[in-house]
Structure 1
Amino acid sequence: MALVSAASVLAAGLIATGISGCADMSGIAPQASLRDAPSLGLTANPAQAQAPLAAEWWRDFGDETLNALEAKALASSPSLKLAQARLARAQAATEVANAATLPQLNGQVDLTRQRYTANGLYPPPLAGAMANSGTAQLSASWEVDFFGKNRAALDAALGSANAAQADAQAARVLLASQVARTYFQLVRLNEQAGVARRTLAQREETLKLVRDRVNAGLDTRLELRQSEGGLPEARLQLEAVQEQMTLTRHALNALIGEPNSAKALVPSAQSAIKSIVMTPVIPADLLGRRADIAAARWRVEAASSDVANAKTQFYPNLNLVAFAGFSSIGLGQLLNAGSQQWGVGPALRLPIFDAGRLRANLRGRAADLDAAVESYNAAVIDAVRDVADQVASTQAIARQQAEQAAAQAAAESAYDIAVQRYRAGLGNYLNVLSAETSVLAQRRLAVDLAGRALETQVALVRALGGGYAPDASPDATKKVADSAHSISANGLFN
């Protein structure tokens, strides 16, 4: 038996490498570059850094109703299940790519009954006769990955799988923040409904007072009509708020997977909900905490591996092939010793002239990498802006609340004085209406500012990653995940 020696295989590979030098990939390279932390205005300052958020960050608000809503949404959301299905598909693709790096073994059994031509290769008595033939053998092959083509394809698949995993986490963060913000909108509207009901009751009491004064001859019908006109306006405001509450309940029910639920959700009081303390400084490691940024970075990794794979296609492929089994004409002799057959040897394929197909493929992969890099850069710029916006809004709302509280205290005091003067006959009813208008405006503003404060806190939590942390990666992807998620102040990803 003549076997191909390892030295012969290596020599053949080296010769093929020299021949393939005519496949030119010069002049084709990606042009884009990743933005680093200093270029984004991020600096490392551990003393001011925000501690990592918990995965279930909404529990910090101390609202059990919100906790229950989040649990329902995360358990039944179709958008999360869709993201998980995409992740499973990407992970299956990594298994396919990994299989290409390993030896392949196949079994073959062929049984055929055929008529052999009388004017062909086979002599009589087989020529022109009907006969059975059979083959039973095993065949093995292994592509020797000298230039890393299969490894690059596997790395690309791993990058896509990790991007899909980050996308699934991004979908989770987005859903959780949508549930929290919608719930806080319902809380705000419920408080506004309370203000509207208090307004209606207050105007009913005022109308009773005016009627008593008209009956006593102390006021005219003008004051009575003015007071009566306030009731429809108060009812209108209450109806408008209740309509918004109904629509918000519908949106919340859809988020938790219970549309058209007959059970009316009763939100907590605004004052019972705790605030989350957040740092006013944008952390340098922000970009490692956001799942969407991690997904964009993984796509850069996958595109980079695709470029490497496209380059390896300029080089030859070397396969080691072997087979062993039985083959005979006439099934009765199929398993006889004389029917044995086997073979072993290398199979070499190399590109010599392909009319520019390989260069075009490489140019396309390089363009894909540029697109992935610029998508990443756009994502990180938007992330920094997002956090800066939420931090600015949080600080501005806090200042507005302080000023509003002082304004409301003054309006409430002025209203009390106006009512007392009116009852004592020292002031007219227009003074009461003017003071009441200021009080109601301040009450509504207080509720709106408190609602904005809660919603902005949720938006800031989402902007800071929403508790995202890379999941425990499968064995095949763990090494890649560990390296790609290392972030420092001098480089977003080392």
Structure 2
Amino acid sequence: MFNTLPKHLTGTLLLAGVLSGCTLAPTYVRPEAPVAGSYPAAAEGKAQLDAVELGWREFFPDQRLQALIASALENNRDLRTAALNIEEARAQYGITAADALPNFNGNFSRTRGRTASDQLVPGQPAVGTAYAVGLNMTAFELDFFGRVRSLKDAALATYLATEEAKQSAQISLISQVAQAYLTEQSYAEQQRLAQQTLDSRLDDYKLDKMRFEVGASSALDLRNSETLVQSARVSLATLVRQREQATNALVLLVGKPLGDLPAPQSLSDEKIVTDIPAGLPSDLLNRRPDIRQAEQQLRSANANIGAARAAFFPTISLTAGIGNSSTSLGSLFSAGSRTWSFVPQLTLPIFEGGRNRANLSLSEIRKNLAIANYEKTIQSAFREVSDALVARGTLEEQLAAQDAFLKAQEERVKLTDLRYKNGIASSTDRLNAQRDLFSAQQSLIQTRQLRLNNAIDLYRSLGGGLNENTVTTKS
């Protein structure tokens, strides 16, 4: 009979392998994208590469910014956490996948015991020793109804979702570093402007004080000039604080002190690609990793329904073993010492207090939640792209208008100064003109930052930032 065990066991395992491909999970169907077929604002201009193919080194040509992004990708703790989450999900998937395979254990045992005197066989000692060695397969579930298969599919989808989450975190990190860099540079340029303005106003104040001392101007003129100086000092102190705080935020994103970096470029000189074609909203389903992550989470919830359904059906498990047993260690492997066991077990759920039905209902509810989350993720992505496209069309006009406004303010200051020196304009007119000029200069810097931030927003919302260098397609 020992020779028949491998046939029984092999046949049973082969049958389990064939039936393990079955599953009670619903057939997965991707939900329809709940968005319009086109964006409200059409993309102007065309480019040879879309955002996904365009590497971030090509999109951000500033070498200082490139160094910051490279350092952040290596040292940022949030991105490192996302990578560790992938490792965790991969390990969990390996544990779940192992349940689909039989587990074999080798064992050796030595048992020593005493037999009761009324149970002794004549000639048998009261104290005896037994040795056993063998190979056992413990409680291997024959997955006839796909419970283990469904759990494996759910674990795989969860693992893939964490992969997508890391890619989404990388895209977000690159855009955050770029925008934090622009914020720091904007404050730096405004700080230099405030310092230049303060120096200029101090010179004007000295002249106004000399004019007042010789009686060429009134005390009001002197106080107006002093007001301009103190206003510039307030602005300078504020910008110094804001720049330092922006630098701290950048250091946190980069993950280490900034150190030696290439010289920064002016916001007016920085050439960041802005004419990225938006494509169709349906493209976002494959471009955006956060959408792919939400879909993998939906697949996982769908597979868990199969596991919940399988709980209503019998569970069939198999325990088997083969080995040798003897009362003497020397005769453990002699003829006649071989043993084997083959124990199939069927467990049929009869009464479980509604647990299985509630678990199935919970799985279906979680799937519906996953569908809602998937659809909301698509809608959010659609809005982000739409907002970026709308802003791109208006920010260029705003920047041109702001530049023209600054030139007009500069001419106004020149004319007001000339009229003030000739005694036609008052010191109040001169005060207002210089304040408006400083405000217009700051607004121009801020508008340039907004335009560049908009380019980054569009690049991120279209899924750009996964590649370091531009993807080249062979013709």
- TM-score (normalizing by structure 2): 0.84
CA distance in 1, matches of 2:103, 2:172: 43
Matched-pair contact (CA < 8 Å) for 1:9–1:346: no
Matches within 5 A, 1:208-247: 208-214=206-212, 217-247=215-245
Deviation at 1:143, TM superposition (A): 4.2
Residues 1:350 and 2:345 aligned together: no
Matches within 5 A, 1:332-371: 332-344=330-342, 346-371=344-369
Partner of 1:313: 311
In 2 relative to 1, CA 232–351 (structure 1 residues): closer, same or farther, beyond 3 Å? same
Matches within 5 A, 1:111-130: 111-120=110-119, 123-126=121-124, 129-130=126-127
> Residues 194-242 of structure 1: CA distance to partner in whole angstroms, max 9, x if unpaired?
2211211221232244245445543223212221222122111101100
In 2 relative to 1, CA 220–164 (structure 1 residues): closer, same or farther, beyond 3 Å? same
> Residues 87-127 of structure 1: CA distance to partner in whole angstroms, max 9, x if unpaired?
1111112222222223332212111222223345x534446
Partner of 2:136: 139
Matched-pair contact (CA < 8 Å) for 1:391–1:460: yes
Partner of 2:32: 36
What SS does the corresponding residue of 1:109 show, helix, strand or coil?
strand
What amino acid does structure 1 have at the position aligned with 2:198? L
Higher mean alpha-carbon deviation, 40-49 vs 243-252, is at 40-49
CA distance in 2, matches of 1:124, 1:164: 69
> Residues 113-171 of structure 1: CA distance to partner in whole angstroms, max 9, x if unpaired?
22223345x534446x2221111111246544333222222111110100111111122
Deviation at 1:286, TM superposition (A): 1.5
Higher mean alpha-carbon deviation, 106-115 vs 94-103, is at 94-103
Higher mean alpha-carbon deviation, 315-324 vs 354-363, is at 315-324
Matches within 5 A, 1:178-327: 178-214=176-212, 217-258=215-256, 267-279=264-276, 281=278, 283-284=280-281, 285-319=283-317, 321-327=319-325
What SS does the corresponding residue of 1:196 show, helix, strand or coil?
helix
What amino acid does structure 1 have at the position aligned with 2:130? S
Partner of 1:410: 408
CA distance in 1, matches of 2:362, 2:226: 74
What amino acid does structure 1 have at the position aligned with 2:334? N
What amino acid does structure 2 have at the position aligned with 1:402? A
In 2 relative to 1, CA 243–331 (structure 1 residues): closer, same or farther, beyond 3 Å? same
Matched-pair contact (CA < 8 Å) for 1:94–1:157: yes
Matched-pair contact (CA < 8 Å) for 1:307–1:366: yes
CA distance in 2, matches of 1:292, 1:101: 30
Partner of 2:377: 379
Higher mean alpha-carbon deviation, 270-279 vs 373-382, is at 270-279
In 2 relative to 1, CA 119–89 (structure 1 residues): closer, same or farther, beyond 3 Å? farther
Matched-pair contact (CA < 8 Å) for 1:177–1:462: yes
In 2 relative to 1, CA 123–67 (structure 1 residues): closer, same or farther, beyond 3 Å? same
Matched-pair contact (CA < 8 Å) for 2:26–2:303: no
Deviation at 1:54, TM superposition (A): 4.5
Deviation at 1:374, TM superposition (A): 1.4
Deviation at 1:430, TM superposition (A): 2.7
CA distance in 2, matches of 1:346, 1:288: 47
Partner of 1:391: 389
What SS does the corresponding residue of 1:331 show, helix, strand or coil?
coil
Matched-pair contact (CA < 8 Å) for 2:51–2:459: no
What SS does the corresponding residue of 1:110 show, helix, strand or coil?
strand
CA distance in 1, matches of 2:191, 2:355: 68
Aligned sequence identity (%)? 30
What SS does the corresponding residue of 2:308 show, helix, strand or coil?
helix
In 2 relative to 1, CA 433–211 (structure 1 residues): closer, same or farther, beyond 3 Å? same
What SS does the corresponding residue of 1:324 show, helix, strand or coil?
strand
What amino acid does structure 2 have at the position aligned with 1:404? Q
Matched-pair contact (CA < 8 Å) for 2:170–2:466: no
Matched-pair contact (CA < 8 Å) for 1:69–1:179: yes
Gaps of 5+ in 1: 14-24, 470-494
Matched-pair contact (CA < 8 Å) for 1:34–1:373: no
Higher mean alpha-carbon deviation, 267-276 vs 166-175, is at 267-276
In 2 relative to 1, CA 119–59 (structure 1 residues): closer, same or farther, beyond 3 Å? farther
Deviation at 1:312, TM superposition (A): 2.2
What amino acid does structure 1 have at the position aligned with 2:37? L
In 2 relative to 1, CA 442–165 (structure 1 residues): closer, same or farther, beyond 3 Å? same
Partner of 2:21: none
Partner of 1:85: 84
CA distance in 2, matches of 1:229, 1:345: 96
- TM-score (normalizing by structure 1): 0.81
Calculate the aligned-residue CA RMSD, in Å.
3.4
Partner of 2:167: 169
CA distance in 2, matches of 1:154, 1:346: 23
In 2 relative to 1, CA 280–338 (structure 1 residues): closer, same or farther, beyond 3 Å? closer
Deviation at 1:385, TM superposition (A): 1.8
Matched-pair contact (CA < 8 Å) for 1:132–1:329: yes
Partner of 1:106: 105
CA distance in 2, matches of 1:86, 1:281: 31
Partner of 1:492: none
